[in-house]
Structure 1
Amino acid sequence: MGEETREFRQHSPKSGFDPATGVYHSLARLGEEYKIPTRHDLDTATFVLSQFPHPDHAESRVALIDSATNQRVSYGQLRHSVRALASGLYHALGVRKGDVVFLLSPNSVLYPTICLAIFSLGAILSPANPINTESEIVKQVRDSGAKLIISAPGELHKLKQVTVSTIITSHSNQSKNESVSVEELIECCDPTELPKSELTQSDTAAILYSSGTTGTSKGVILTHSNFLSIMVLMKWTVNVTDSQNDVFLCFLPMFHIYGLAFFGLGLFCSGITVVVMQKFDLTAMLDAVKVHKVNNIPAVPPVILGLVKYCKPGSDLSSLKRVGSGAAPLSKELSEAFRRKFPWVELRQGYGLTETCGATSFFVSDEDARARAGSCGALLPSFCGKIVDVETVVGLGPCRRGELLIKSPTIMQGYLGNEEATRETIGEDGWLRTGDLGYFDEDGFLYVVDRIKELIKHNGYQVAPAELEALLLSHPNILDAAVIPLEDEEAGEIPMAYVVRATGSQLTEDQVIQFVAAQVAPYKKVRRVAFISAIPKSAAGKILRKQLVSLSQQQVVAKL
């Protein structure tokens, strides 16, 4: 403790930066009630269930609401379902510690039950994106080494080439599948017949698939210790932002670390009510906010953009108090446009990666968030950061751009079966290379500019696509935009913009080029523009630039 105190005194009290080491330290401290558990034999499910409301209140406190059917699940029912399902998985299906359970399903009120039941057995959760193709699903099943698959009935057709035992989440009126279902196991199995847990914090809890900081999809290994740290930090953020009585809306995919950490696990540590949508739809989201008096919406930049560009003045968002943004950079321009349209709503951006179990920085204060549009907040308690020169790896001080490195108790164990990629991402000293270009300001607030590998190299200059996209989105006749590199013999690469025009707009390529050119340095100018009906994005809201690069190459070939 004395060593930590001496170290803390060396930091700038304003930014947390230590010029001797080049390290930025979090200035936030957890109170005694939020200490990260040190008990070695504590697992994620045991911890989350221990945070549920007292049994006297568990039946009256609503944990989950299905936005489509209005089905409600109390905390008491959720606890019973987790234990009954764990019992069924253990006794009826032979799931044991270390077995990988592959989960293929859209959001549902059953999703948290399934995740917690898997964790409680010491089995390993590996969730998948249900919009993935059959070949992508098969690859993940094989790569993860799955021993059991839990699938929504509508996704079974993607598992024809898989020989792994499979059960379904629930039987629908249309489903004639004879497979046992999760719902049947919950109804039939004794929640008291559970084996004694022999888990430790160092055991693997989940394998989540991410693009990683570079390259193709990789299995990110997260331990119970990683999740326990995130659960404590989430409970802290809910309380310090006065969100504990809010009703949260979930349309973020629960297979993604953002959705899993929030809605599959974390919010239940604070007794929160979560309204679940199977997938995002703007009209359905607005209806859910009105009907269920939603106060808090963790979101992604495309949702923020949709609210700004498409939300009609008559929509009832009076209950809304907070909107969060993560998974991709939220520009200063879009932040300010949102606040102008919804001045009563707090907008707070955060930053995290699958490799950091979903968190790194966050805004505790709405005042700070408003004063620093474009920033993704300050480092969370127990986190450290570095900004290093992309070429020399030398540490940089405040307001200087470089690659962001992170160290925290939430850092992944590594990539499944890929020691080379793990070594490239996590150094021997424990620092995680994020692959993101960013900087800390003089007050210790983090700004993420772009992905380093997505920077456009134009005549030796580096151009950040996110900066140009933010500028394009400020145009009244542009609904969405993405910027990619286009190969050029003279300049190496030139910025090319794909633009979604507003309905009825006759916006031309030259008008877009001139709009950008009037506001940026010459090397940043957009040189080519193509119009498109929709920008391809991942479920987490990230622009799928590879698809656009491929499209641009096809268009160039077609013109030859």
Structure 2
Amino acid sequence: MSNNQNIIYGGDFEESLDYPTVGALLYDNFKDGGDKVALIDGIKEEQWTFNDLLEQSVKVAKALYDAGIRQNDVISILSENRLEYAAIAYGTLYLNAICAPTNFAYTERELEHTLNITKPKFVFISSSTKALLPKLEQFDFVKQVILLDDDNVSSDKLISFKTFLNKYSNNSFNVEAFVRQPVKLFEQVAVIFMSSGTTGLPKGVELTHGNLIACIASNLERVPLGKSLFGNVTALYITPWFHVMGFMGKLLFTTTREFTQVFLAKFIPKLYLKSIEKYKILTITVPPPVILFLSKTPLLSNYDLSSLKLIFSGAAPLTKELEEEVKKRFNDEIIVLQAYGQTEATLGVLYSDVATAKPGSVGQLVRGTYGKVVDSDGNILGANKVGELCFKGPFIMKGYIDNVEATSSTIDKDGWLHSGDLGYYDEDYQFFIVDRLKELIKYKGYQVPPAELEGLLSSHAKIRDAGVIGIPDEAAGELPFAFIVKEEGSDLTEQEIKDFVAKNASNPKWLRGGVKFIDAIPKNITGKILRREMKELYKTMKAKL
């Protein structure tokens, strides 16, 4: 860790990963993993070894190639976490095609927006997302929809996964030789994730092979310390793989660390605790709401959780108070660490270390990354001074797909990613998050853009204007709350508004915080909504209750 005129550097990589593609990195790790168990589906109680991962992902790659998929073609996965998901993602990366994990909870409106950005040629769906098939079949760029569950299905675009693998099987295609062919690492896009940004609907974040390899390299350097402290590692995850935290932090990192990963398609409290007991889970990675659950639930006494030694918190800030509370619940025998990152930075740029972690800190810069804190005029600040956090290095995205304006407003001409988050670092270069410059609402780790909800609400015939803010909530972090200006003479009710949003927006965006009718939305002279004033208005309103 070094400091040059208040620009902090995380240090050089101790050991560079010299791979021509991320596919080659994955292929070699699966090959070396052998018969060690890699993935366990905690709900279905099915498992794959690294050999299984290699065999199944190669089978998918050969089928995709035989079906006409080539470099830069986009493959979308619209499914809950499951073993086949991993094989599809890896097989896509082997071909230097682009994987676009998609939120399976999207409404038709949100899905349409996302697909028009990523334009996938093939889409893999499961029985839980089958209802979206009619929508998928409307897009000309979607050439094939593959259903992971049913065998006896067929239409112009729909085929079962089993039939797909049997129909397309180019055994002459040498996957291992193909992944050895180098690409321009920081030009070739590997994955597109959706990120809400600060305004409007989600944007497509392009992450390259170089981004993924650098991120994996950074995480691999922490493995020796973990193994020296704990030995073999079995981890439990619930983060969906369409999210960068799930895809990168679990689907890619775990399988390159020789960890055994137990995953659940969703959080079911009793099953979650039972899984920790059954598989002797050593570490979990969760958002703060799950830590809150662990700190308060009476269910803990029904299970043997003595194997659990390490909790990683991510996706949203973890308060010092909640960190201390969960430690007390486990008699201070648990280590709680935080990390900080964003989709645009290929997951994490700040990580806590077991040896140096401080309560409330999100950690230090990872190797290969530069960081600085700037004021509103762009001046670089020193230690213990609050400003916007900015980052630079091999983790920073290529850009937002087909959106030069949004890219240039996020990454400046010198290559610095402006995070939109306020924070500072102390004399030991430990970083702390204070607040957000961005207007995003963080509901259980999900990003909810107020502008999107405002646009949706304003489309309602009985609503003249709308303003949305996040209000504090101990369990979820923040809840979306709407100020509404009704059309004159309207009989609009709060429940009608809530039902309208629930019908047209995915679950995290529902107005759980409530609705308040007012005469006018606070705005400046240019028409920009003044959220700070709305938050003060909410505080005043709450104080009167």
What TM-score results when the alignment is normalised by the length of structure 1?
0.76
Shift of 1:207: 1.0
CA distances 1:223-243 after superposition (whole Å, capped 9, x unpaired): 100001111112222333226
Q: 1:119 to 1:209 in 2, by over 3 A?
A: same
- Which position in structure 1 is the counterpart of 2:61? 86
Query: For the residues of structure 1 that align with 2:210 and 2:430, how far apart are their CA atoms?
Result: 27
Instruction: Please say if 1:361 is aligned against 2:380.
Output: no
Query: For the residues of structure 1 that align with 2:249 and 2:268, how far apart are their CA atoms?
Result: 19
- Which position in structure 2 is the counterpart of 1:520? none
The residue matched to 1:135 in structure 2 has which SS? Answer: helix
- Which position in structure 2 is the counterpart of 1:373? 359
The residue matched to 2:23 in structure 1 has which SS? Answer: helix
242-251 or 230-239: bigger deviation:
242-251
Instruction: Please say if 1:384 is aligned against 2:370.
Output: yes
Query: For the residues of structure 2 that align with 1:239 and 1:553, how far apart are their CA atoms?
Result: 53
- Which position in structure 2 is the counterpart of 1:51? 29
Question: Which residue among 341, 350, 354 is the counterpart of 2:329?
Answer: 341
- Which position in structure 1 is the counterpart of 2:217? 232
Q: Would you say the 8 A contact 1:85–1:185 is kept in 2? A: no
Q: How does 1:93-104 map to 2 (within 5 A)?
A: 93-104=67-78
Query: For the residues of structure 2 that align with 1:410 and 1:481, how far apart are their CA atoms?
Result: 27
Q: Would you say the 8 A contact 1:229–1:410 is kept in 2? A: yes
Query: For the residues of structure 2 that align with 1:192 and 1:279, how far apart are their CA atoms?
Result: 39
CA RMSD in angstroms, aligned pairs only: 3.1
Q: How does 1:30-429 map to 2 (within 5 A)?
A: 30-31=13-14, 34-37=15-18, 42-52=20-30, 54=32, 58=34, 60-91=35-66, 93-161=67-135, 162-163=138-139, 164-172=142-150, 176=153, 179-186=158-165, 189=169, 193-194=173-174, 196-197=178-179, 198-200=181-183, 201=185, 202-212=187-197, 215-242=200-227, 245-312=232-299, 313-342=301-330, 343-365=332-354, 367-369=355-357, 372-389=358-375, 391-429=376-414
Counterpart amino acid of residue 317 in structure 1: L
Q: Would you say the 8 A contact 1:249–1:296 is kept in 2? A: yes
CA distances 1:427-468 after superposition (whole Å, capped 9, x unpaired): 110000001111111110111122213499xxxxxxxx99x9
Q: 1:418 to 1:284 in 2, by over 3 A?
A: same
Query: For the residues of structure 2 that align with 1:81 and 1:236, how far apart are their CA atoms?
Result: 28
CA distances 1:182-209 after superposition (whole Å, capped 9, x unpaired): 3445567356623635551231111110
Q: 1:190 to 1:166 in 2, by over 3 A?
A: closer
Gaps of 5+ in 2: 442-468, 484-497, 521-540
Query: For the residues of structure 2 that align with 1:548 and 1:231, how far apart are their CA atoms?
Result: 37
The residue matched to 1:323 in structure 2 has which SS? Answer: strand
Counterpart amino acid of residue 324 in structure 1: F
The residue matched to 2:390 in structure 1 has which SS? Answer: strand
CA distances 1:12-31 after superposition (whole Å, capped 9, x unpaired): x7xx332x3x31111x5532
Shift of 1:168: 2.8
Instruction: Please say if 1:23 is aligned against 2:7.
Output: yes
Over the matched positions of the two proteins, sequence identity in percent amounts to 30
The residue matched to 1:398 in structure 2 has which SS? Answer: coil
Q: Would you say the 8 A contact 1:398–1:439 is kept in 2? A: yes
CA distances 1:232-288 after superposition (whole Å, capped 9, x unpaired): 112222333226721111211111111001222121112111112111222211111
Shift of 1:315: 2.8
Query: For the residues of structure 2 that align with 1:288 and 1:156, how far apart are their CA atoms?
Result: 28
Q: 1:191 to 1:107 in 2, by over 3 A?
A: farther
Query: For the residues of structure 2 that align with 1:296 and 1:192, how far apart are their CA atoms?
Result: 42
Q: 1:409 to 1:311 in 2, by over 3 A?
A: farther
Q: Would you say the 8 A contact 1:151–1:166 is kept in 2? A: no
Q: 1:455 to 1:81 in 2, by over 3 A?
A: closer
303-312 or 271-280: bigger deviation:
303-312
Gaps of 5+ in 1: 1-12, 457-464, 474-478, 488-531
Shift of 1:172: 4.1
Q: Would you say the 8 A contact 1:249–1:276 is kept in 2? A: yes
Counterpart amino acid of residue 336 in structure 1: E
Counterpart amino acid of residue 173 in structure 2: E
CA distances 1:378-416 after superposition (whole Å, capped 9, x unpaired): 110111111111x21211111111100001101001111
Counterpart amino acid of residue 182 in structure 1: F
291-300 or 214-223: bigger deviation:
214-223
Q: 1:445 to 1:204 in 2, by over 3 A?
A: same
Q: Would you say the 8 A contact 1:49–1:79 is kept in 2? A: yes
Query: For the residues of structure 2 that align with 1:52 and 1:29, how far apart are their CA atoms?
Result: 27
Query: For the residues of structure 1 that align with 2:379 and 2:369, how far apart are their CA atoms?
Result: 20
Provide the aligned length of Structure 1 versus Structure 2.
Answer: 460
232-241 or 75-84: bigger deviation:
232-241
Q: Would you say the 8 A contact 1:213–1:433 is kept in 2? A: no
Query: For the residues of structure 2 that align with 1:303 and 1:553, how far apart are their CA atoms?
Result: 30
CA distances 1:310-339 after superposition (whole Å, capped 9, x unpaired): 253333211111110111111111111111
Structure 1 residue runs of 4+, over 6 Å off?
483-487
The residue matched to 1:241 in structure 2 has which SS? Answer: helix
- Which position in structure 2 is the counterpart of 1:516? none
Shift of 1:103: 1.1
Q: Would you say the 8 A contact 2:92–2:98 is kept in 1? A: yes
Query: For the residues of structure 1 that align with 2:309 and 2:161, how far apart are their CA atoms?
Result: 35
Q: Would you say the 8 A contact 2:481–2:515 is kept in 1? A: no
Query: For the residues of structure 2 that align with 1:45 and 1:236, how far apart are their CA atoms?
Result: 20
Counterpart amino acid of residue 371 in structure 2: G
Q: 1:285 to 1:484 in 2, by over 3 A?
A: closer
Q: 1:239 to 1:215 in 2, by over 3 A?
A: farther
CA distances 1:498-541 after superposition (whole Å, capped 9, x unpaired): xxxxxxxxxxxxxxxxxxxxxxxxxxxxxxxxxx9xxx9xxx99
The residue matched to 1:394 in structure 2 has which SS? Answer: coil
Query: For the residues of structure 2 that align with 1:480 and 1:53, how far apart are their CA atoms?
Result: 41
The residue matched to 2:206 in structure 1 has which SS? Answer: strand
The residue matched to 2:341 in structure 1 has which SS? Answer: coil
Shift of 1:90: 0.9
Query: For the residues of structure 1 that align with 2:321 and 2:153, how far apart are their CA atoms?
Result: 51
422-431 or 61-70: bigger deviation:
61-70
